Amino acid sequence: MALGRSKEKARQHAWYKHVDFHEIDLLGNSSGFMPLPGSRLMHLAWSDLTDFRSLSHLETSLPSNYRFIKHMVEHGVQTVLVAGTCLEYGHLCGPIRPETDPQPVLPYAAAKNMLHQQLQHLQHQQNFLLKWVRLFYMYGSGQNPRSVLAQLDAAIDRGDSTFRMSGGEQLRDYLPVEDVAAGLVKQLESPGQGPSHVCSSTPISIRRLVEERIRQHGVKMELELGYYPYPDYEPMAFWGANNKE
């Protein structure tokens, strides 16, 4: 069963015919949907992901998503998996484990962290398992067109001879979106609860990531390094680690 904002948009995907789709807008009144007793919820919804600094994350997305999840557990959902974000860790550097205390600096990250805390408090009133899975960076079909690899692919498709980017020395944790999806399913089906990561646990520089992508396409392209400044809301080097590492 899948829930989404637009049935028309969902019909464009190959998976649509394989699911029971329900059109729900979390920013409106979604309380009419009734889950099956004992079901599990994988919650991936969020808005305004093109602007991490927007106050809408705190003022609109946080309360609407909390209301929806609360409604679901009040009506029979027994397991809730929510996609968190590595940005909850703020300016922390190096390998970061799931049990590390978040230090968010962006409204988006703060709203995600607050949702986690609200759901932990809700567990004192409702009996359900809560899996908070922080995602790091991903690439592949459906990626944000403003992400570095999406912009690079567009430049390659246009036949550009140069690509403008930052200095590229940031170390990040990247996974193909298919691996992220598989990791989420594995977390949903695993026993236990609490915070966890879906990550590669292997840092890679943005420059190397871009250079490898160019080689994969078999094209010649010069990098205009240092054209864009480094983001001020991320540390220069951080990547995911899991509890056993």
Q: Is 138 helix (H, G, I), strand (E, B) or coil?
A: strand
The pairs formed by 48-56 with CB atoms below 8 angstroms and a separation of 24 or more are 48/108, 49/108, 49/144, 50/144, 50/146, 52/87, 52/106, 52/107, 52/108, 52/109, 52/233, 53/106, 53/107, 53/108, 54/107, 54/108, 55/107, 56/107
Per-residue pLDDT of the chain (245 residues; tens, 9 = 90+): 999 999 999 999 999 999 999 999 888 766 678 999 999 999 999 999 989 999 999 999 999 999 999 999 999 999 999 999 999 999 999 999 999 999 999 999 999 999 999 999 999 999 999 999 999 999 998 888 889 999 999 999 999 999 999 999 999 999 999 999 999 999 999 999 999 999 999 999 999 999 999 999 999 999 999 999 998 999 999 999 975 54
Tokens of 211: 């250079």
* CATH no. of 2-138+174-202: 3.40.50.720
φ and ψ of 186, to 5 deg: -60, -40
- The confidence score (pLDDT) of residue 35 equals 92
- What are the sequence ranges of the domains in the chain? 2-138+174-202, 143-169+203-224
φ and ψ of 242, to 5 deg: -105, 165
